[in-house]
Structure 1
Amino acid sequence: MNYLERVTCVKKSSKKGYYILYWMQGAFRVEYNHSLEFAKYLAINKNLPLKVLVVVDFNYKDANYRHFKFFIDGILELVEKFNDLKISFHVKVGPFTEILPQYLNDANTLITDKAYIKWLKDVRNKIYKNNDVNIYEVDTNLVVPVQVASSKCEYGAYTIRPKINKLKEKILNDFVFFDYRDNNFVLENDLDSLIIDEKLKSVHYIKTVDFKGGESEADKLLRDFLNEKYDNFAEKRGDPAFDFESNLSFYLHFGFISPIKILKEALKIETNPENYETLFEQLVVRRELAHNFTYYTDDIHNLYTFLPEWSKNTLKTHEKDKREYIYTLNELEGCKTHDKFWNAAQYELINKGKIHNYMRMYWGKKVIEWSESLKSAYENLIFLNDKYALDGRDSNGYAGIAWCFGMHDRAFKEREIFGKIRYMSENGLKRKFDMNRYLMRVGA
């Protein structure tokens, strides 16, 4: 196999078992899914049937109606896909720690997708500890597996970039497909319409947005991006007046699409090489720096456990500086600040499930400026992001917020409140961009 660097043996067992179990937990797709292919490979080589399991846990940390609806759309599509593939597919509703043991009692081997955030790693480790079975994790949601790229938390993009570039060609072409079918396959889906309606009523309601979950929707968005936006991607992606972003971050978060597929499809398009370089920088270098951050950080909710020393020192020095404006969480959430551009960014987050990337940085910086303490600023940003962003609770989101406080960045000229942390201003927005066009575009 070409991609064994993606596979980590977590636990060995002498237990025989009757089937291979793939717990699909982070890569909810059939294309470019190294975990699924590794599971098929083991099923063929051990001459055992394969079962694929999805557990829908309505107690999932910080998830709400918006997230679950998007997620379930994609899972219902997978039922049809696995029916066509003739592979047993089971969708079960309940806590991870209760459903998994039911399937592991008779399993020979467990394969699952690698997790990059501590609480998800803790869930896995609890399951691993309490079940006697062979266990493998497969890193299929990154181009370069997180532990292959680096064995430590990287300082910034400039330190991880050469490590990724050294490996990218080899790993970008490591995918192997295995032809596995089971004439006795079984489909079990607990997500019938009654259960969905009942369960969704039990989670916090946040209205849905225009995006629909699933692998097919991700493919459609990718085609639209490559056909309509890609030619101007390098030039216009950073301008909030225009929508030249791919909008694939949600689909990457839920594993509905592989970053490898995005890159391979982009390589087929004849365009200025700068567009591919920009795409690679955002999709691989910056995104995988974010996953490196959460993977090697034990407590992402405590700023002072991970910020670089210069950042910690300068923020502490200026924490008591006088603020012209201070806003409560309710005022921020309700778009009730004096800054119409910040309000528009928050409005975009609430109504579209995302903020344009440049405005997202501005959004974070201003909350630092308008908060009584760094702790409250950080907590409020995470709360708003995780509640409204369709890809909330993601490594990218946590790293992006941490960047506002100096993570993965450098020192700048010292000023009030921010110290040496990078500053962003309303005048800077108006000088660089047509901000009235941004207001019109997001409907604020």
Structure 2
Amino acid sequence: MSEHRLTQKQNALMIDPRRTRVLNSCSDKPGAVIYWMSRDQRLNHNWALLFAREKAARKGQPLVVVFALAPSFLDAPFRHYDFMLKGLEETSKALERINIPFMLLEGEPDTEISRYACQSEAGAVVTDFSPLNISRNWKKKAADILDIPLYEVDAHNIVPCWYASDKQEYAARTLRPKLQARLDEFLVPFPTILPLPAPHVHHRSPDWKQVRERLQKDRSVPPVNRIAPGETAAAESLENFIKSRLSGYATARNDPNSNALSQLSPYLHFGQISAQHVALRVAESRAPQKDKTAFLEELIIRRELSDNFCNYNPSYDRFEGIPAWAKQTLLLHGQDKREYLYTIDVFEKAATHDKLWNAAQSELVQSGKIHGYMRMYWAKKILEWSSSPPEAFEMAIYLNDRYALDGRDPNGYAGVAWSIGGLHDRPWFERPVYGNIRYMNASGCRRKFDVERYISRFREPATLFPNA
């Protein structure tokens, strides 16, 4: 990791222009700057918010942060909205303490943002980057409607996704050198966001209780109360990981019983913590270098590889998006005899013959996450026990998105595509059902960790909704 750093003064005066782009051909006008907060839901360490604040200060105009609450986001149930809204409530209060009003709009984001910008006679709109199709479609529609510029800032990746590569990368080994060559330039500390003058913008703070009560969401998937949402909880989780679990991470991370993982994935998904800030804190810690290197490989290379996949492959959430060699081998073995065949209902209820798989599904439903090693096993067995590879892919995406707090995320889509569809992998020895896709079995898990101990932690039959 490079020791190169920009000074606070230099950084405060400059947001790297390679991190920003304009999504339409309009020019700035007089009027407030709107930060359309979407993927990066935090006050601190947020390049998009810093860019918007800098623009407002230079124009001598107010800055308003606006979040558009979509009536549906890829069928997310109440669990996900609850976690997100509690985090946004904390962020809104933190923003208002530094004289930046926060507004919550309810409705289709492209429509609501465009309407608000017009009504408030705004001069520019700034938003954050997401490679997901739904977000890109919202921005395209808004950019077409607005008569002011819509700036997009990659506040999620350390090296901006579109700058790191202009194509879908084959594997980590092809993206890694491109990212490492740019870390000196982009992995820099953040300036502190400074207060603005008291705004002359009429706004009404959201009634968060009423917002949650109005949500018409599937409440059969309840909140995960053991994980506190929000920027403060995310920061505490990071410091706890660095202090207690980062040392030893390289050897313990593949043991689901070790409690070695950072537990940051929900916070990274909802943008309640910055991956760049996490990388800087880990890099400057006193943990052994091998542990820091193992963690940063996942945080930077693997995570940004997932954004690259979704950014350049619009079929990222479908079987059609996997590599051609994988499609060919899976379809060739599509009619192979399966020892077990299960429906989505059996999978969802963790009612298969395999106690280890059932424990992984129970962990997902109960805690809103699966240990990374077990998520690979979980997905590969869905392939093995489904009537066809396309059906397996669809069911794995459905279950992950429905229950995982970090669902609907490039990491999740890339993870399923790797496990089932050979993404970012290579052909392996051919076998029934899997073809040349990498194989996993329970015996391999037993060589890695104490399987019975893991099963005992999520033993079925158990209530799948202990927090209901």
Aligning the two structures, in what range does the TM-score lie when normalised by the shorter sequence? Answer: over 0.9
Residue pairs, 1:1-40, within 5 angstroms: 1-14=14-27, 16-40=29-53
Structure 2 distance, partners of 1:29, 1:443, is 37
Cα displacement (A) at 1:180:
4.3
| Mapped pair 1:366 → 2:381 | yes
Tell whether 2:178 aligns with 1:191. Answer: no
Counterpart among 424, 428, 437 of residue 421 in structure 1: 437
> Matched residue of 1:234: which SS?
helix
Secondary structure of the equivalent of 2:315? coil
Q: Is the 8 A contact 2:237 2:263 kept in 1?
A: yes
Report SS of the residue matched to 1:90.
Answer: strand
Q: Check whether the contact 1:249–1:391 (CA below 8 A) recurs between aligned residues.
A: yes
Q: Secondary structure at the match of 1:159?
A: helix
1:11 corresponds to which letter in structure 2?
N
Of the candidates 111, 115, 124, which is equivalent to residue 109 of structure 1? 124
Moved more, 295-304 or 328-337: 295-304
Q: Is the 1:86–1:182 Cα contact (8 Å) retained in structure 2? A: yes
Secondary structure of the 2:104 match is strand
C-alpha distance in structure 1 between counterparts of 2:63 and 2:442, whole Å? 56
Aligned position for 2:238 = 222
The residue that corresponds to 2:73 in the other structure is 60
Show the counterpart of 1:95: 108
Alpha-carbon distance change, 330 to 42 in structure 1, aligned in 2, over 3 angstroms: same
The answer to whether the aligner puts 1:436 opposite 2:436 as a matched pair is: no
Aligned to 2:466: none
Match for residue 5 of structure 2? none
CA distance in 2, matches of 1:261, 1:443: 37
Whether contact under 8 Å (1:54, 1:91) holds in the other structure is yes
Quote the Cα distance in structure 2 between the aligned partners of 1:220 and 1:14: 41
Confirm whether residue 332 of structure 1 aligns to residue 347 of structure 2. yes
Q: Which amino acid in structure 1 is aligned with residue 455 of structure 2?
A: L
By how many angstroms is 1:174 displaced?
6.3
Aligned counterpart, 2:365: 350
Partner residue of 1:132? 147
* One-letter amino acid of the counterpart of residue 281, structure 1: E
The SS at the match of 1:188 is: coil
> What is the CA–CA distance in structure 1 between the aligned matches of 2:254 and 2:217, rounded to whole Å?
39
CA distance in 2, matches of 1:442, 1:170: 45
1:74 aligns with 2:87: yes
How far residue 247 of structure 1 moved from its aligned partner, in angstroms, is 1.0
> Does 1:46 find its partner at 2:62?
no
Measured after TM superposition, the shift of residue 203 of structure 1 is 4.1
**Pairwise CA RMSD:** 1.6
Q: Distance in 2 between the 1:51 and 1:136 partners?
A: 15
From 208, 223, 239, the counterpart of 2:255: 239
1:43–1:50 Cα contact (<8 Å) kept: yes
Aligned amino acid, residue 242 of structure 1: S
Which segment drifts farther, 210-219 or 433-442? 433-442
Question: CA deviation digits over 1:86-110, x for unaligned, max 9?
Answer: 1122122222133212221111101
Q: Within 2, Cα distance between the matches of 1:351 and 1:358?
A: 18
**Secondary structure in structure 1 of the residue aligned to 2:73:** coil
TM-score by length of 2: 0.91
Size of the aligned set, in residue pairs, is 442
| Contact 1:8-1:136 within 8 A present in 2 as well | yes
- Once the 2 structures are TM-superposed, how far is the Cα of residue 376 of structure 1 from its aligned partner? 0.8
User: In the alignment, what sits opposite 2:416?
Assistant: 401
Partners of 1:97 and 1:14 lie apart in 2 by: 19
Distance 2:270 2:397 in 1: 19
Whether the aligned pair in 1 keeps the contact of 2:359 and 2:455 (CA below 8 Å) is yes
Q: Distance in 2 between matches of 1:290 and 1:202?
A: 28
Aligned mates of 2:459, 2:340 — CA distance in 1: 25
Letter in 1 for 2:65: V
Shift in Å at residue 46 of structure 1?
1.3
Report the counterpart of residue 143 of structure 1 in structure 2. Answer: 158
1:170 lines up with 2:193 in the alignment? no
